Amino acid sequence: MPPVAAAQSKKTDEELVALATQDNAGAFRELFDRYYKMIHSFCYRTCLDETHAQDIAQETFIKVARSLETFRGESSFKSWLYRIASNSVRDWLRQKIRQNRVDEKMAEYVQVEECTGNEPDHSRVTEALRALPEDLRMAVVLTYYEGMNHASAARVLGCAETTISWRIFRAKKKLKKLLTRRES
């Protein structure tokens, strides 16, 4: 459910979180309106599917609503929100992998040929991003698409800043190889 365009107050995230934890639905709605588009974009860029991105973004805000009282303010609300969204994407990816395994087994038993004509037409860059391992793709999305520095991306993904730098280095190398190969 996309956010409704409404005038946002001048309250800080921390003030809105405090109000929302006191069952103020308007404060939670304002946090949702403030961050839904950002989280949806992050989800889309990591899973590369619009329908699933909407589902994951909504699931992220459901998790936020359920665990808002556990927000300790040690990081910014935005970083905490990204962390929940990245975990939601990971959950979706794990579920997708399990579902693919079940589908493969079912196809073996039923001996049904897969239909490949329903694949959406994506750009070369999107296909190259899809080919990256999840950890590299998340690092690329957070730094290049979401505009985070390596330290912020590291906080979101729960790893060292040097790990993000290494992942970006490896991702660039793999993307260059993938994009060069596809041009040939």
**What CATH number is associated with residue 85?**
1.10.1740.10
pTM beyond 0.85: the answer is no
Residue 17 reports pLDDT greater than 80: yes
Over pLDDT 90: what percentage of the chain?
A: 34
Residues 89 and 137 in one domain: no
Q: What's the mean per-residue pLDDT of the chain? A: 81
Residue 108 lies in a domain: no
Residue 31 lies in a domain: yes
pLDDT of residue 32: 95
pLDDT of residue 111: 39
pLDDT of residue 106: 42
Query: Which tens digits make up the pLDDT trace of 109-152?
Result: 433 333 444 444 346 777 888 888 888 988 988 888 888 899 88
Residues 71 and 125 in one domain: no
Residue 44 reports pLDDT greater than 90: yes
Closest of 114, 128, 121 to residue 45, by C-alpha: 128
pLDDT of residue 144: 84
DSSP annotation string for 117-134: TT-----HHHHHHHHS-H
What's the domain range around 128? 121-184
In whole angstroms, what is the distance from residue 95 CA to residue 155 CA?
24
Residue 107 lies in a domain: no
Residue 15 lies in a domain: yes
- Summarize the confidence of residues 159-178 as an average pLDDT: 89
In whole angstroms, what is the distance from residue 98 CA to residue 121 CA?
24
Residue 101 lies in a domain: no
Residue 83 lies in a domain: yes
- Summarize the confidence of residues 80-104 as an average pLDDT: 81
Taken in order 161, 164, 168, 169, the sign of the CA dihedral is positive
3-state helix, strand, coil in the chain (%, to 5): 75, 0, 25
